[in-house]
Structure 1
Amino acid sequence: MPTPDPEEEQLQNERHELLHQLTEWLETPMLVLGFAWLLLLGIELIWELTPALETLGTTIWVIFILDFLLKFILAPQKLSFLKSNVITLISLVVPALRLFRLARVFRAARAVRGLRLVKVVGSLNRGMKALTNSFGRRGVRYVLALTGVVLLLGAAGMYAFEKDVPNGLHTYPEALWWTAMLLTSMGSSYWPETSEGRVLCFILALYGFAVFGYFTATLASFFMGRDADDPEAEVAGAAAVAALHEEVRQLRADLRKGKETGDL
């Protein structure tokens, strides 16, 4: 087995440290741009972007590309970096089709909605990363904020895909209500008719299932913790067990003391 080159290993460590520092420096600006990107995508799906908003969206997209390229250049393991950012890479490539008017080529193949679907999924992925940096992974605030983003943006996507379908989701409030029912596992009598709507519905259903399990576990932990602190609860809590251990220890000390003094 070849011995690793110390100079090369040091260079890899320096590149990794530089990449970490760059990520920390750009965390706040990219967080703001990430939320602005989500807002613009929601406006695009529900209404239409004005020329000024399109220019703003293109500018943010270019900044995202420069950020991705810079991090890719500094990444010590480039293949691993690409594998962990596949969705981000795809979401950066898709807007180029619209920028260069290539979407017209695919219009006959009805791929415009498919490109929108990829953009929605990629934007949700970016939103997840932004919220992770804001609140921290696995926190209740993070899950609540992420669920709000998924609800609003998922409803915008469902509205964009299903608004032209007979008996579809013809208004955004209707799509918002339908998405909320889906995420809470209550369901609805309407079933998406477009292929893109069905794919997005499946993704939203998976997310709703995962979040429902998370909140169920959180509530169970809360009630179990409250019962553990309640001395009158049926199940002995940590405080009660600790008190019992202290009583046993004190009883043993008293017995040992009684033997030494001859009282026992």
Structure 2
Amino acid sequence: MPHLDPEKKQLQHERYQLLQQLTNWLETPMLVLGFGWLLLLGVELLWGLTPVLEMVGTSIWVIFILDFLLKLLLAPHKLRFLKRNIITLISLLVPALRLFRLARVFRAARAVRGLRLVKVVGSLNRGMKALAASFGRRGVGYVLGLTGVVLLMGAAGMYAFEKDVPDGLKTYPEALWWTAMLLTSMGSDYWPRTGEGQMLCFLLALYGFAVFGYFTATLATFFMGRDAENPQAEVAGADAVAALHEEVRQLRAELRQSRGLVNSASPPKPD
């Protein structure tokens, strides 16, 4: 790793501090815009956007672009910043195809669905960051909120991909029920027909598998904690363990004391 002189280190440190200050200052506005972006995406997938809503979405997208470029400019290590935000970068580039009329190249239905899939995944990634800023990454509230967003947006994506295929998901409530069954690992008889639907189904199944394990561990911890608080339960609680430690400590003290009395009472050995 090349050695940096003190001036460059100081410059990188100042830029990093400025980046952190900018992130903290823009956290609340970008949080609101992130949830607004998710809401607009859901409306687009289910019913389509009106010209007014499309203009609002474009304005939010431009703000996201400016925020990303400003943070990239201030980042001390730009390549590392791009690697950490590659999904965000791709999701920001997709709307440019529509804005600059480049979507004519992608008139095929499969290409349009592919662009929608990228937009759904990128928007879920942004929603995950917004929820992390709201609840904290390791809280139960964060996982519940993220699961709700994944359920609603995943169902909207599956409905958009599968509504035009034979025997597909014809209504949003049907897609919502199917997504809920998938996330709870119960499944259903329906299997996505489109490639984009299958890819989204795979991602939803991975998320459901991870979250199901998290909730199982949380519930197990909760019930074990309740059992530990019950003095008649088989699971030892913190108070019971502390009492056991105190008894062991007292027993050791008594053994040392009795050993000292025995040693003092025994006659000295003859020379």
Q: Which TM class, normalised by the smaller chain length? A: over 0.9
Match of 1:70 in 2: 70
Name 1:53's counterpart in structure 2: 53
Aligned counterpart, 2:226: 226
Aligned to 1:88: 88
Aligned positions of 1:1-80 closer than 5 A: 3-80=3-80
TM-score (norm 2): 0.92
Q: CA deviation at 1:106?
A: 1.2
Q: What does residue 135 of structure 1 align with? A: 135
Separation in 1, partners of 2:205, 2:118: 17
Deviations 1:40-85 (A, max 9, x none): 0000000011111000000000000000000000000000000000
After TM superposition, the structure 1 = structure 2 runs for residues 1-264 of structure 1, keeping only pairs within 5 Å, are 3-108=3-108, 110-253=110-253
Q: Distance in 2 between matches of 1:6 and 1:52?
A: 52
Residues 3, 196 of structure 1: alpha-carbon distance in 2 compared, 3 angstrom cutoff: closer
Cα displacement (A) at 1:27: 0.2
Aligned pairs, how many?
263
Q: Give the partner amino acid of 2:203.
A: I
In structure 2, distance between residues paired with 1:137 and 1:30: 17
Match of 2:76, SS state, is coil
**Could you tell me which amino acid in structure 1 is paired with residue 65 of structure 2?**
I
Q: How far apart, in 1, do the equivalents of 2:106 and 2:261 lie?
A: 96
Between 1:152-161 and 1:213-222, the stretch displaced more is 213-222
CA distance in structure 1 between the partners assigned to 2:39 and 2:165 by the alignment: 25
Query: Per the alignment, in what secondary structure is the counterpart of residue 48 of structure 2?
Result: coil
Question: Shift in Å at residue 104 of structure 1?
Answer: 1.9
Q: CA deviation at 1:110?
A: 2.9
| Letter matched to residue 72 of structure 2 | F
How big is the alpha-carbon RMSD for the aligned residues of Structure 1 and Structure 2? 1.8
SS at match of 1:166: coil
Q: CA deviation at 1:253?
A: 4.5
Question: What is the CA–CA distance in structure 2 between the aligned matches of 1:239 and 1:121, rounded to whole Å?
Answer: 47
> How far has the Cα of 1:122 moved from its partner?
0.2
Separation in structure 2 between the aligned mates of residue 136 and residue 99 of structure 1, nearest angstrom: 35
| Contact 2:87-2:122 within 8 A present in 1 as well | yes
Map of 2:268 onto structure 1: none
Q: How far off is 1:237 after superposition?
A: 2.5
Structure-1 separation of matches of 2:11 and 2:176 = 50
TM-score, structure 1 as length reference? 0.94
Q: Describe the superposition over 1:19-47 as per-residue Cα deviations: whole angstroms up to 9, x where unpaired.
A: 00100000000000000000000000000
Contact in 1 for aligned 2:224/2:235 (Cα 8 Å): no
Once structures 1 and 2 are overlaid, which stretch shifts more, 216-225 or 227-236? 227-236
- Using the TM superposition, give the Cα deviation of residue 261 of structure 1 relative to its aligned residue in structure 2, in angstroms: 8.9
Q: Deviations over 1:83-117 (max 9, x none)?
A: 00000000000000011221121113730110000
Q: State the structure with more CA Rg.
A: 2
Counterpart AA for 1:68: F
Where do 5+ consecutive residues of structure 2 fail to align?
Answer: 266-271
Instruction: Specify the SS of the correspondent of 1:141.
Output: helix
Mark the CA change 1:245 to 1:110 in structure 2 (over 3 Å): closer, same or farther: closer
Give the letter for the 1:167 counterpart.
D
Identity of aligned residues (%): 81
When residues 161 and 54 of structure 1 are mapped into structure 2, their CA distance, relative to the original with a 3 A threshold, is same
Change (3 A) 1:236 1:42: same
Partners of 2:109 and 2:43 in 1: how far apart?
25
